[in-house]
Amino acid sequence: MPAFAKRMLQVRRSFIREILKVTADPSIISFAGGLPKPDLFPTGPMAEAAASVLAESGPAALQYSVTEGEPALRQWIARRYREKKGLDIDWQHILITNGSQQSLDLLGKVFLDPGDVVAVEMPGYIGAIQAFSVFEPTFAGVPLLPHGPDIEALTAALSRKKAKVFYAVPNFQNPSGLTYDLAARQAVAKALDAADAILVEDDPYGELRFSGESLPMVSSFMQGNAYMLGTFSKIAAPGLRLGWVVADEAALPKLVTAKQASDLHCSTLVQRILARYLATNDLDAHIAIIRGVYKAQRDIMLERIRAEFPPEVACTEPEGGMFLWITLPEGCSAFALFDLCIREKVAFVPGEPFFVDGSGQRTMRLNFSNADPEHIVEGIARMAKAIKVLLAKPTCVAA
């Protein structure tokens, strides 16, 4: 049999997807996934939108269309940047993609040669690391501190390692739930501009803010080389598989060519259904409902963690998003805890795979968006029991 391409040696299957298989057992309470809550999807309005689109312009909705994406959808996105962020973006600079994952694939295709250095947050989003890995870069980890990335480490990655790209999730990051503060945003932009490096700013969770003020995009502080990624997965529905990337005049044609070579264009039908849904529904009212439910679930999870976990176990308190990040005491293994938790019928994602330098052994991610309050209460109680067993062991690493 002919050999596989060398690039495939670097690309691992998603570790999280493998964990999700373990948690398919319905008796397990799982905080491992990263799914939005499906009861909140706008099923009825989407059905109405689908019916209208197919009744009014069915043949066009089922035909091939342009690579860049449906103009109505791109115009909606540009308007929203203006209204929510005060950013003036030409809608023609927006390329519709099959979700942020494809935006990352296209940016990798267009910008990354083998050996190029990509700086990523530690912990960082595994899907991005997987998407970029296909193009055989080297990764430089930049530790994520409570208020943003370690600027010294970022500067070192840019200067000493000549990092070409920094991939950042500044709002309610996956996996940590952390958010960059204003000073961090300005400092990141300054460091990237000084190095003529590229920012890939991914913002899947920005609209899911429960409290505090929305902060400007890091991209808005940059002189250029900034690519803003967005998705409808967390504010409408992930099963549509629709997102976008905003690019400048020089890069946009390259991204369009890469998209054309990848799959011609996104589904005309699903783009038109979404555009119709957005034109005939109040998305802000819908997002307010999501925010309310997720906030309530975060509150319960945090409250139960504080009540039941030993005080030496630390937990972030994110102002939005879908995840909490937990750090066990020095020397403890989250993988060992995972094994104990599976025996107790509760699951989470150990943090180590989110660290490109192989650290993070005592960290873990908990999802609160796709869990009912009663399961949160029971699941945290089960975890607390397992944590106490772990901490009672002499080394707290034995499984």
Q: Examine residue 44 and tell whether it contacts its own copies (CB under 8 A).
A: yes
CB of 60 to its own copies, least distance (A): 7
Q: Which residue in the block uniquely carries the two structure tokens 């005592």?
A: 362
CB of 384 to its own copies, least distance (A): 29
The CA distances from residue 150 to 36, 115, 141, 145, 199, in Å, are 30, 23, 10, 6, 16
CA dist 109 and 101 (Å) reads 13
Judged by CB under 8 A, the chain residues 133 through 152 that form the site for its own copies are 133-135
Cα dihedral across residues 151, 157, 163, 165: positive or negative: negative
CA dist 330 and 312 (Å) reads 9
Q: Say if residues 321 and 88 touch (Cβ distance below 8 Å).
A: no
Judged by CB under 8 A, the chain residues 311 through 340 that form the site for its own copies are none
The CA distances from residue 308 to 28, 297, 349, 394, in Å, are 19, 16, 19, 21
CB of 265 to its own copies, least distance (A): 7
Q: Which residue in the block uniquely carries the two structure tokens 């630390």?
A: 314
Task: Candidates 107-115, 201-209, 283-291, 343-351: pick the segment binding its own copies (CB under 8 A).
Answer: 107-115
Q: Examine residue 47 and tell whether it contacts its own copies (CB under 8 A).
A: yes
Q: Examine residue 36 and tell whether it contacts its own copies (CB under 8 A).
A: yes
CB of 191 to its own copies, least distance (A): 15
Which residue from 13, 26, 27, 88 is in contact with its own copies, where contact means CB under 8 A?
A: 13
Q: Examine residue 115 and tell whether it contacts its own copies (CB under 8 A).
A: no
Q: How many residues bind its own copies (CB under 8 A)?
A: 85
| H-assigned helices in the chain | 7-10, 15-22, 43-61, 71-85, 100-111, 126-133, 151-159, 182-194, 252-263, 268-280, 283-308, 334-343, 373-392
Question: Residue 21's Cα: distance from chain center in Å?
Answer: 20
Q: Examine residue 55 and tell whether it contacts its own copies (CB under 8 A).
A: yes
Which residue from 18, 22, 25, 60 is in contact with its own copies, where contact means CB under 8 A?
A: 60
Task: Candidates 130-138, 140-148, 312-320, 330-338: pick the segment binding its own copies (CB under 8 A).
Answer: 130-138
Q: Examine residue 26 and tell whether it contacts its own copies (CB under 8 A).
A: no
CA dist 99 and 321 (Å) reads 17
Tokens at 215, concatenated: 């902060």
CB of 373 to its own copies, least distance (A): 19
Question: Residue 293's Cα: distance from chain center in Å?
Answer: 19
Which residue from 188, 240, 336, 384 is in contact with its own copies, where contact means CB under 8 A?
A: 240
Task: Candidates 97-105, 146-154, 302-310, 377-385: pick the segment binding its own copies (CB under 8 A).
Answer: 97-105
Q: Which of 145, 141, 144 is nearest to 161 (CA)?
A: 141
CB of 158 to its own copies, least distance (A): 12
Q: Which of 279, 375, 262 is nearest to 23 (CA)?
A: 375
Which residue from 161, 241, 291, 375 is in contact with its own copies, where contact means CB under 8 A?
A: 241
Q: Examine residue 349 and tell whether it contacts its own copies (CB under 8 A).
A: no
Judged by CB under 8 A, the chain residues 250 through 309 that form the site for its own copies are 250-251, 253-254, 256-258, 260-270, 273
Judged by CB under 8 A, the chain residues 191 through 230 that form the site for its own copies are 196-198, 224-225
